[in-house]
Amino acid sequence: MSDLYRFIHAEKANYPVTLLCRVLHVARSSYYAWREGKAARRRRQAADDALAHEITVLHLASRCTCGVPRIHAELRRLGRRVNRKRIARVMRERDIRGVNRRKYRSLTRPGKKAKLAPDLIGSDFHAERPGIKLVGDITYLPTAEGRLYLACRLDLATREVVGYAMADHHRAELVVDALDMAHGSGATCSPAA
């Protein structure tokens, strides 16, 4: 629509505005509203440019980590009352982005026919003597070369790691290696526990 208004504005020296609006099927009041809004659009663009400068300064001060919510909070703390959606629009137009945290990805997904192991500990994490209750876990450590998976076995009586294994995968053999190390260190678990 603004192309039509620009055309009318350019040709109004040659033809009357009424005729141009009638031929182009545009309301004359709409043309005049567009013409009067030109200054307002310029002022709004200047205000957006000033806001973009403030956002850029705050973004660089945060080492390019802050996104819209933090920038909005910081501007409010500094006394600037700006709508959060306007900040989002200005940042989007100027391609200013914060750092997104990676979403959590579960590594253990039981299959459709997988059977859950019975809970032998029963949420009782106390053991009278070493070697009675062993628990374990698998976690990953992000490294420059990729993920490194760590499986460990913990004795609940002494709270010390009695076996561990590391690999670049999280298959069953990783857990078996941790169990083998725990067995080699003398930590055994009775079948009743």
Structural domain total, the chain: 2
User: Does a structural domain hold residue 177?
Assistant: yes
User: Does a structural domain hold residue 132?
Assistant: yes
pLDDT digits (tens, 9 = 90+) for 101-149: 777 766 666 666 666 677 778 778 888 888 888 888 888 888 888 889 9
Cα 148 to its chain centre, rounded Å, is: 23
Report the alpha-carbon distance of residue 55 to residue 72 in Å, rounded.
Answer: 9
Q: Which range of residues forms the domain containing residue 56?
A: 2-93
User: Does a structural domain hold residue 100?
Assistant: no
Say whether both 81 and 158 belong to one domain. no
Residues contacting residue 100 through CB under 8 Å, at least 6 positions apart: 67
Say whether both 88 and 117 belong to one domain. no
Per the CB < 8 A criterion, the answer to whether 133 and 193 are in contact is: yes
Say whether both 116 and 191 belong to one domain. yes
Residue 9: closest CA among 36, 39, 43, 35: 35
pLDDT digits (tens, 9 = 90+) for 22-58: 999 999 998 888 888 888 888 999 999 999 999 999 9
Look up residue 57 and give its amino acid: V
Kindly state the tokens that stand for 193.
Answer: 């526990």
Q: Which of 93, 124, 144 lies at the terminal end of a domain, its last residue? A: 93
Query: pTM higher than 0.85 for the full model?
Result: no
